[in-house]
Structure 1
Amino acid sequence: MKNRFDLIIFDWDGTLVDSIDWIVQCIQRAAAHYGCPVPEPQAARDIIGLSIEKAIETLFPVADEETRAKLAAHYSQNFFSKQISPDDLFPGVSDMLRQFRRQGYRLAVATGKKASGLAKAIEATGLADLFCTTRCSDQTASKPNPLMIDQIVAELGVDKQRTLMVGDSVHDLQMALNAQVVAVGVTCGAHSESTLQQFRPLCCLSYPTELLDII
């Protein structure tokens, strides 16, 4: 796969950042706070990657609009109560991204986070100088709609056949399928290899840093 790609698009939570358990805890706390059924851990993992609005709607389908808004607000307040730092990146991620940039790859992020949250996270993890562009759920359509990838590719002027999507969830890989770009799954986040393989990734890796060995 050497020299096959020009652009690598990464998901954020669960792909570059070890945040899945914290997201699950924050979702469960929000549910408990408002007397809603507390999702099982895997049910909470299954919505990671979606916009917070779609995630709450999926997890709490019988909740009314006001309760969903309160759940989303409580989740966000809890999630951002924890200060993110470079230590929250999976080991070796910063060095990997810097090596890719030195090798001439263009890097981007496509995430279910909101733009303000991603900007803070990128700055706090020391990665602000590495990404050519980003797309967030409040800027475009939520995963698995392909619009995030379509917009990134169009903005950077890169051929889809030279684009790679890297993600840890079914929403990432389904988005890649919908956008007709190649994907690599990582199993350090929301979903297992057996689950990710259903979406026909090029391969599944334990951690994103293993990309250095194959591209």
Structure 2
Amino acid sequence: MTFELIVFDWDGTLMDSEARIVACIQSAFTDLGEPSPAPEAARDIIGLGLDEAMAMLCPDATLARRRALMDRYRAHFLGGNETPSDLFPEARATLSRLDQQGYLLAVATGKSRRGLDEVLATTALDRLFHATRCADETRSKPHPDMLLELMDELGVAPSATLMVGDTEYDIQMAHNAGAAALAVCYGVHERGRLLAQRPMACLESLGELPGWLGRLAEAPGVGSPA
């Protein structure tokens, strides 16, 4: 079994940004005099689009109130918050190796276009990705549109596409799009929760990915569970 396109989630998969996201969510609520979500609740929505995330965190709030919270979150995340947010140690080398091996690489993220473009530029990873999709451009995970649009843009079939992510939303999106899913268990959602969604495997580190792909390509009679 071989793949042509590998699509990565960003936060929690390529970048260790959990602490910054949680801090910015809590600051947004504090700014507007709302009870601050517990860290566990704030972590749970990482991977969703911001609109869907705020709807989960404050389901009884009016649309105007949720939009105000979203504006405050963006202000903190894009400007005011200084919580460190770095690539995971093996992310850059792994992406470079996959690029050299000829894979098409893409990003499907709950980040905004502005937010993704900013981190792609600051990390100098923009040259490695052939296409990207953000939650403010299409429907949020776990809806399949983000992944379907990437496959259509790059001309790759679902059977040749692998989604790599750290949340159940990533795995559900892959299944909904007819693609394969691979989980990484060092991010936001814990291993048992990820395995319950039936990914092909759950890796302990991103550096394991090239070797896992190589073994999969050599294994006879392996089919996608998606």
TM-score by length of 1: 0.94
Write the distance in 2 (CA, Å) between the matches of 1:31 and 1:206: 33
Give a deviation string over 1:120-157, Cα, whole Å, max 9, x none: 11011110100000011111111110011111111111
Q: How does 1:58-207 map to 2 (within 5 A)?
A: 58-81=56-79, 82=81, 88-207=86-205
Runs of 4 or more consecutive aligned structure 1 residues displaced over 2 Å after TM superposition: 81-85
Q: Secondary structure at the match of 1:164?
A: strand
Check conservation: 1:11, 1:167, Cα contact below 8 A.
yes
How far the C-alpha of 1:84 sits from its partner, in A, is 9.4
Provide the residue aligned with 2:12 in structure 1. Answer: 14
Q: Secondary structure at the match of 1:214?
A: helix
Any stretches of 5+ residues in structure 1 without a counterpart? none
Write the distance in 2 (CA, Å) between the matches of 1:17 and 1:83: 15
Check conservation: 1:56, 1:71, Cα contact below 8 A.
yes
Q: Secondary structure at the match of 2:189?
A: coil
Any stretches of 5+ residues in structure 2 without a counterpart? 214-226
How far the C-alpha of 1:99 sits from its partner, in A, is 0.8
Provide the residue aligned with 2:50 in structure 1. Answer: 52
Give a deviation string over 1:50-108, Cα, whole Å, max 9, x none: 110110011011112222111111111111235799x7100021111111011000000
Corresponding residue pairs, total:
212
Write the distance in 1 (CA, Å) between the matches of 2:207 and 2:189: 18
Q: Which amino acid aligns with 1:136?
A: C
Check conservation: 2:19, 2:83, Cα contact below 8 A.
no
Provide the residue aligned with 1:34 in structure 2. Answer: 32
Check conservation: 2:107, 2:129, Cα contact below 8 A.
yes
Write the distance in 1 (CA, Å) between the matches of 2:159 and 2:20: 35
Q: Which amino acid aligns with 2:184?
A: V
Write the distance in 2 (CA, Å) between the matches of 1:123 and 1:52: 21
Check conservation: 2:94, 2:207, Cα contact below 8 A.
yes
Give a deviation string over 1:2-56, Cα, whole Å, max 9, x none: xx11110000001000001110111111112222222121211111111101100
RMSD: 1.6
Cα gap change, 1:204 to 1:141, in 2 (>3 Å): same
Q: Secondary structure at the match of 1:42?
A: helix
Q: Secondary structure at the match of 1:199?
A: coil
Give a deviation string over 1:148-197, Cα, whole Å, max 9, x none: 11111111111211110000111111101111111111122210000111
Q: Secondary structure at the match of 1:148?
A: helix
Q: Which moved more, 1:67-76 or 1:30-39?
A: 30-39
How far the C-alpha of 1:212 sits from its partner, in A, is 2.0
Check conservation: 1:10, 1:167, Cα contact below 8 A.
yes
Check conservation: 1:84, 1:121, Cα contact below 8 A.
no
Write the distance in 2 (CA, Å) between the matches of 1:186 and 1:37: 32
Over the matched positions of the two proteins, sequence identity in percent amounts to 46
Q: Which amino acid aligns with 1:147?
A: D
Write the distance in 2 (CA, Å) between the matches of 1:118 and 1:153: 19
